[in-house]
A and B are shown apart, each in its own frame.
Chain A
Amino acid sequence: MTPELGQLSLILALCLATVQAILPLLGAAQGRADLMALARPAAVGQFVFVTAAFLILVQAFLVNDFSVLYVATNSNSALPAAYKVAAVWSAHEGSLLLWIAILSGWTFAVAAGSRHLPDVFASRVLGVLGIVSMGVMLFTLLTSNPFERLQPAAFEGNDLNPLLQDPALVMHPPILYAGYVGLAVPFGFAVAALLSAQLSQEWARWTRPWTVGAWVFLTIGIALGSWWAYYELGWGGWWFWDPVENASFMPWLAATALIHSLAVTERRGIFKSWTILLAITAFSLSLLGTFLVRSGILISVHAFASDPARGLFILVLLSVISGGALILYAMRAHRMDQDGGFQPLSRESFLLLNNILLIFAAGLILIGTLYPLFVDALGMGKLSVGPPYFNLVFLLPTLPLVFLMGVGMHSFWKTMPKSVLVNRLKIPIILALLFGVGLPLVVFGRATILTLVGCVAGMWVVVTAMLEPAQRLIRGEGSISKIRRSQWGMMVAHFGVGIFILGVTVTSSYSIETDQARAPGDSWELAGYQFVFRSTRDVMGPNYQAVEGEFEVRKGGRLLTVLTPQKRVYRVQQSPMTEAAIQSGLRQDIFIALGDSLGGGAWSLRVQYKPLIRFIWLGALIMAFGGILAISDTRYYRRQKQDQSQSPHDIDASVEKIV
């Protein structure tokens, strides 16, 4: 009976979403307050019913209700409780329900947090979110009902895919989706602005915290996915340019561009139509990502189900939502722009370049991701685009981007005297060159040109990000407490980018990755560490059995750690799983994974030394933390008018940059 209640809740939520989609928009168009007043109650009601549906599905997993097809396919009574909850979003139907739940959560947040906005505008935003919600709920109920019954009920479930039985994977999808779906909010703001055919600088201020919020989730979500791939799936790799990774990375690039473009729109009132277009693009890329992942057309480790009806439905949804927004954009956007005017050497120019480069990167990644699908659809053969392409097309725009980042951070709005700029950046340039060239050579004793460029770039971003507070501290140029939260956010996020670049550069330059055949009793050396293969033994887990290897890791004769990688076989699905053992540290990771039994007690092993690999995820987390700092700035929550007392030209504006 309970699963039917879940389905009923979802249908009721769909009804409320329909109300939310149609009436407030109508009310806003006709200026009827009574219709607009329906937006918030409908959003709250939708949230309540979607949450109920979601909790009912969670409950079905927790009580092992194998009469529900989705539970029977993705769970098992021996599965630990935390993974039973994670199993809710482990496959198609449940992920969609999660998508809907998160969208209704964002909608609820907008309903609650938009009281300071004009009613007409808030109604339009909620109306647009209602349309999106309606579309996805229809999709779920018509093609992918998670509450479908299995008759007769299964006695035992088919278990959760062993790869997904992992703590990071419990968190990864909800956080990633929170980012993906969160981009619906700036999309809603953009369409609402188009509908009202006007866009004030305040609009940008309202939109910014929501955009940054979604971006924070997206950043953490992508980082978690990469971390999971590193220790669970990738045999030590952290990014594969897998189409599904690209599907989450392209919205991230667009959202990053949007954040920067919004800054210009807020401070200077220009780039308006471009900002709107970016908001539409970012969410469209999210939807495209959903389509790519959920339609099963991708050849990817993430692509599970394939069902043409589903793919078609999402494609129609995508064209209605994005296409509709783009048509509206074509009709209305030209009315918005005004010429603010800025010099070639100014904050605006650098942010413009930032946008061009980010979108250029996203575009090239999009080509590499979609091209194989087009070729296949045309029946011209099957092909894929190799990672070297993506590495190159990502590096091309990001290298200039990174160097411009440091300059842009320290430029004024409107115009930047060259002499002042040079004066400010003299010391950072020297420091970046010194440390960027010096550190790799001193620590590793060798470096290629590309390594040095990467290290200098990373150092450059780190140093320029710290310049402002450092100058205030050292030279006493103003109090450090005068720096606003949003400025801190910008500096911290950029600092995170620098850390990330250093991590990527050092890891890809100095990692040692080996596959070796070893038997118990063997010892060998790698990257200055001594390894001893002590033994293997059988171990039993709650729902798997495993062979566990025991390895000593020593440095200079001193025992550092004992690593115990496992080769597991999960009982229900009988699928083998490699559980790597990693000695992780800020400076380096030591990675051992058991490969295959080679006979005679010997095993193939993957043994890796990965310097600074933690910087990659640490950098991403610092970026996200910067985003959180920026959102917490009170200026986004003040009532209108007050903020205008501070003009962009006052003294603080020289340091108030991207924020």
Chain B
Amino acid sequence: MTPRRRQRMVLIAMIFSGVAVSAGLALKAFQGNLLFFFSPTQVEAGEAPDSRNFRLGGMVVPGSITRETGSMTVNFVVTDYAHSIPVQYTGVLPDLFGEGQGVVVRGQLSEASNFFAEEVLAKHDENYMPPEVAEALAQSEKAREP
């Protein structure tokens, strides 16, 4: 092997090991950051993880939004018309959050199977339904038909 070849081999080896190490790190980050989506029915059925963030989607039940005057904490109920999950969130809500609207919340289940949301996503068109929510609703509708 000529010295020049060897140098080149070293360069290539360095690139490869660098790529391998970062690919490993990326894979780890990838697995750690997968956020699964569940409907209230799936949560009721115990499919959602206990101590890990996931996303919950459905419709905000009309009349379920409550807050104490002056408080930033808001409570509401998300439903797929088969099952409902109470959600609590503290912070500024997105513009299109509202009763009877589709919503996706990201957060964790508490022990009392309340959902603590870190983030509330509502999409920016009043007719627009997040595709996941639309599908979850369709699923639960199908399940309720005899």
Contacts and interface: CB of A to CB of B under 8 A. Distances in A.
Contacts of A599: 67, 69-70
B33 interface: yes
A1 interface: no
Given A381-B37, A392-B25, A578-B95, A517 B125 contact: no
5 pairs of A and B residues whose beta carbons are closest in the complex: A595-B92, A382-B37, A386-B33, A389-B33, A599-B69
Given A344-B11, A595-B92, A598-B69, A389 B29 contact: yes
Interface of A: 161, 163, 233, 235, 296, 299, 301, 303-304, 306, 343-344, 349, 353, 356, 360, 364, 367-368, 371, 381-389, 392-393, 396-397, 400, 515-517, 519, 573-578, 593, 595-596, 598-600, 602, 604-606
Contacts of B138: none
B3 to A, nearest CB: 11
Contacts of A515: 72, 90-92
Interface in B42-72: 53, 55, 67, 69-72
Given A304-B125, A392-B26, A393-B26, A356 B19 contact: yes
Given A573-B126, A600-B69, 7 more contacts: A161-B125, A233-B124, A306-B131, A381-B36, A397-B22, A596-B92, A605-B92
A598 B67 CA distance: 8
20 contacts: A299-B130, A301-B123, A344-B7, A368-B30, A382-B135, A384-B34, A385-B30, A386-B35, A386-B53, A388-B33, A389-B29, A392-B25, A393-B29, A519-B70, A578-B95, A593-B92, A599-B69, A602-B70, A604-B72, A604-B92
Contacts of A600: 69-70
A371 B29 CA distance: 14
Nearest to A375: B34
B4 interface: yes
Contact of B71 (A353, A576, A598): A598
A301 B124 CA distance: 7
B11 A349 contact: yes
B136 to A, nearest CB: 9
Contacts of A604: 72, 91-93
A574 B126 contact: yes
B18 A576 contact: no
A302 B82 CA distance: 30
B29 A575 contact: no
A396 B25 contact: yes
A161 B127 CA distance: 11
A578 B122 CA distance: 13
Interface centre among A371, A515, A519 (most CB of B within 10 A): A515
B18 to A, nearest CB: 7
A520 B90 CA distance: 21
Contacts of B35: 383-386
B99 interface: no
Contacts of A573: 125-126
Contacts of B146: none
A575 B8 CA distance: 62
B26 A364 contact: yes
Contacts of A306: 131
B94 to A, nearest CB: 8
Contacts of A574: 126
A356 B128 contact: no
Q: Which of B55, B67, B95 has the most CB of A within 10 A?
A: B95
B36 A598 contact: no
Contacts of A381: 36-37
B15 A356 contact: yes
Contacts of B124: 161, 163, 233, 301, 575
A66 B123 CA distance: 26
Contact of A343 (B7, B33, B123, B132): B7
A574 B101 CA distance: 13
A346 to B, nearest CB: 10
Contacts of B91: 515, 595, 604
A286 B95 CA distance: 31
B9 to A, nearest CB: 10
A189 B69 CA distance: 64
A413 to B, nearest CB: 16
Given A301-B123, A385-B30, A385-B33, A577 B70 contact: no
Contacts of A235: 92
B70 A299 contact: no
Given A161-B124, A517-B71, A598-B69, A577 B37 contact: no
Given A235-B92, A306-B131, A595-B92, A383 B37 contact: yes
A577 B22 CA distance: 41
Given A161-B124, A343-B4, A388-B32, A576 B69 contact: no
A237 to B, nearest CB: 11
Q: Which of B7, B30, B37, B93 has the most CB of A within 10 A?
A: B30
B71 to A, nearest CB: 6
B96 to A, nearest CB: 6
A367 B30 contact: yes
Contacts of A371: 30
Contacts of B71: 517, 598
A619 to B, nearest CB: 24
Contacts of A382: 36-37, 132, 135
A576 B22 contact: no
A593 B92 CA distance: 9
A389 B70 contact: no
Contacts of A595: 91-93
Nearest to B19: A360
B132 A602 contact: no
A301 B122 CA distance: 9
A575 B126 contact: yes
Contacts of A576: 95-96
A383 B131 contact: no
B36 A388 contact: no
Given A343-B7, A396-B25, A598 B92 contact: no
Contacts of A383: 34-37
A427 to B, nearest CB: 27
A299 B36 contact: no
A515 B111 CA distance: 26
A358 B90 CA distance: 39
A596 B92 CA distance: 7
Contacts of A344: 7-8, 10-11
Contacts of B130: 299
Nearest to B96: A575
A149 B72 CA distance: 48
Most-contacted residue by chain A among B70, B92, B126 (CB, 10 A): B92
A367 B33 CA distance: 13
A517 B70 contact: yes
B131 A299 contact: yes
B109 to A, nearest CB: 17
Contact of A596 (B19, B22, B93, B123): B93
A533 to B, nearest CB: 13
B5 to A, nearest CB: 11
Contacts of A393: 22, 26, 29-30
